[in-house]
Amino acid sequence: MEFTAQQIADFLHGQIQGDPSVKVSNFSKIEEGKLGTLTFLSNPKYNQYIYDCQASIVLVNKDFTPEKEISSTLIRVDDAYQSLATLLTLVDQAKPRKTGVSPLAFISDSAVIGENAYIAPFAYIGENVVIAPNATIHAHCSVEDGVKLGANVTLFSGVKIYNSCVIGDNCTLHSGCVIGSDGFGFAPVEDGSYSKIPQMGNVVLEDDVEIGANSVVDRATMGSTIIRKGVKIDNLVQIAHNVEVGVNTVIAAQTGISGSTKLGKRCILAGQVGIAGHLHIADGTIFGAQTGVPSSVKKPNQTLQGYPALPIMTFQRASVVYKNLPEIQKQILELQKQIQELENKIKK
């Protein structure tokens, strides 16, 4: 399908700068823009690429001011990244969707499958599972006994959902993610060994949650581990038992949240962050990459980084001085010597 700049600008309520009749049929990155494609510029780091870009159309933010001539037709919009999302979603939704339950899937007699489902070969659907309409379940997914899946859920290949977990509407779970595995709970025994605490709870994902590939959300010891509405979790993330993640919080790859910690709403966790157990993290907290969080964060909307998590400007200033530590130690020795000398002089 081809669209003109005029059609796209009308759809996005954007302003054209350049030839409104130019046509595109695909997308490209701004560094690799080709004729006949549409690209976008949102991150100023990439501004340099727009001047030589061969893409026929570039979506830019309203306030973008070029420093040189640009050959592409520009469409100015309020938020270029959001507009790109709108266009990509349009194209994505136009793709044909597989439907039908494969005879090579295993569906328990007691499972209830909503209408318009796609269930691939080798999917396993356990007893008393209830699946709402429009589910897409790829090969090798395992949906164990008593699980509930909401409407429009997508499970990519190899998703594992342990028994009794509840997945909300419009959730997307990527390959290899595990929902409802046992929390890591062991009680020490006198002989030095550990006895397992059976994990009797479950996991609840509310609506509009996305979980990345090979991430793990453990079931609660009692009650539920809860991922609230709109939470987005990247790949290889660990969510321990009895954690609660607040509405619209975003968690980047390889981050780990220890048991029973409650994350607030609209938090942003960068990659490889670690949060200790039994903490409360205030709404709107932002943690920089690799931050370690040993204690609760009470004041909302702070940006923190480092170990232990510090206000980001404090952390960055300290981290700049860190490399000078050997010099600092030397300077102190020198000062001690100088003062000794001064004292000696004065005594004389």
Provide DSSP, 73-131. Answer: EEEEES-HHHHHHHHHHHHHHHS----EE-TTSEE-TT-EE-TT-EE-TT-EE-TT-EE
Which position among 82, 116, 128, 302 is part of the footprint of a second copy (CB under 8 A)? 82
Q: Does 294 bind a second copy (CB under 8 A)?
A: yes
User: Which token pair is 26?
Assistant: 């695909």
Q: Does 11 bind a second copy (CB under 8 A)?
A: no
CB contact burial 135-147 (16+ within 10 A = b; e otherwise): bbbbbbbbbbebb
Site residues for a second copy, 115-134, by CB under 8 A, read: 120-122, 124
Which residues, listed in sequence order, are joined to residue 193 by a DSSP beta bridge? Answer: none
Give the list of residues 6+ apart from residue 320 with CB closer than 8 angstroms, or none.
Answer: none
User: Which token pair is 285?
Assistant: 């907290």
Three-state secondary-structure class, residue 49: helix
Give the list of residues 6+ apart from residue 240 with CB closer than 8 angstroms, or none.
Answer: 183, 184, 218, 225, 256, 257, 258, 259, 260, 261, 277
Contact region with a second copy (CB under 8 A), list: 11-19, 64-72, 111-119, 301-309 = 301-309
Site residues for a second copy, 328-347, by CB under 8 A, read: 328-329, 331-332, 335-336, 338-339, 342-343, 345-346
Our CB check for a second copy shows the closer of 21 and 35 to be 35
The site for a second copy, by CB under 8 A, has a size of: 119
Our CB check for a second copy shows the closer of 112 and 342 to be 342
Q: Does 142 bind a second copy (CB under 8 A)?
A: yes
> Is 13 one of the annotated active-site residues of the chain?
no
Site residues for a second copy, 13-72, by CB under 8 A, read: 27-29, 32, 39, 43, 45
Which residues, listed in sequence order, are joined to residue 178 by a DSSP beta bridge? Answer: 160, 216
Given the residues 138, 140, 174, 241, the one annotated as active site: 241
CA distance 338 to 248: 58
Which position among 12, 58, 140, 146 is part of the footprint of a second copy (CB under 8 A)? 140
User: Which token pair is 321?
Assistant: 């001085």
Which position among 58, 148, 234, 282 is part of the footprint of a second copy (CB under 8 A)? 234
Query: CA-CA-CA-CA torsion for 210, 215, 219, 225, nearest 10 degrees?
Result: -40
Site residues for a second copy, 152-181, by CB under 8 A, read: 156-158, 160, 162, 172, 174-176, 178, 181
Q: Does 301 bind a second copy (CB under 8 A)?
A: no
Task: Print the binding letters for residues 201-220 with a second copy: x by CB under 8 A, - otherwise.
Answer: -------x-x-xxx-x-x-x
Which position among 54, 116, 128, 235 is part of the footprint of a second copy (CB under 8 A)? 235
Which of the residues are catalytic?
A: 241
